[in-house]
Amino acid sequence: MTPLEYFRLLVPAFSELSDAEVLEFLVVAENFVNVGCLTTEPANLARAMYAAHLLFERQASNSAVIGGGAVVREKEGDLEREYSSNAEVVYGLEGNPYGRRYLELIRPCAGGPTIMTRMGAEGYLWPNLGAWGQ
């Protein structure tokens, strides 16, 4: 399957977008996704999940309330709404189901990129692994 086919099958939340709009985000995702360690099918799925992650974040940034907790009180007259303040806000790839799925897919890629510093190559701290990448 192509990344677009995976996107259409697994991301119904953005079904209103045209193929051209989705393809734009797939092109952007291609610039961020390093899937060299994956075979074709998991790589295409990873590209689709990253594009969905980007769309999810765009949608969240366009909403009126970003990172608010659950609605605890609403009032119709004068449109009043109150959100809980104890909700943990998670940003980035772990902040939505598409980003988390992308991270699961690329986990076999040995912990992410290696960062070169003046002290030599350093492992990258991988989310949720609790250890330095190999």
- Angle CA(105)–CA(110)–CA(114) in degrees, nearest 5? 120
The phi, psi pair for 12, rounded to 5°, reads: -70, -15
CA–CA gap between residue 54 and residue 67 (Å, rounded): 16
Q: For position 129, what pLDDT does the model report?
A: 42
14, 55 contact by CB (below 8 A): yes
Question: pLDDT (tens digit, 9 = 90+) per residue, 106-115?
Answer: 888 755 545 5
Q: For position 58, what pLDDT does the model report?
A: 87
The phi, psi pair for 40, rounded to 5°, reads: -55, -50
16, 24 contact by CB (below 8 A): no
Q: Which residue has the tokens 């610039």?
A: 31
CA–CA gap between residue 47 and residue 1 (Å, rounded): 12
pLDDT per residue rounded down to tens, the chain (134 residues): 999 999 999 999 999 999 999 999 999 998 888 878 889 999 999 999 999 999 998 887 766 454 455 556 677 787 776 765 554 556 688 888 999 999 888 888 755 545 555 555 444 444 444 443 43
Q: For position 69, what pLDDT does the model report?
A: 56
Residue 73 backbone class (left: φ over 0; alpha: ψ -120 to 50; beta: rest): beta
> Would you give the end-to-end CA distance of the chain in angstroms?
31
CA–CA gap between residue 23 and residue 36 (Å, rounded): 20
13, 58 contact by CB (below 8 A): no
Q: For position 98, what pLDDT does the model report?
A: 93
Token pair belonging to 129: 């692994």
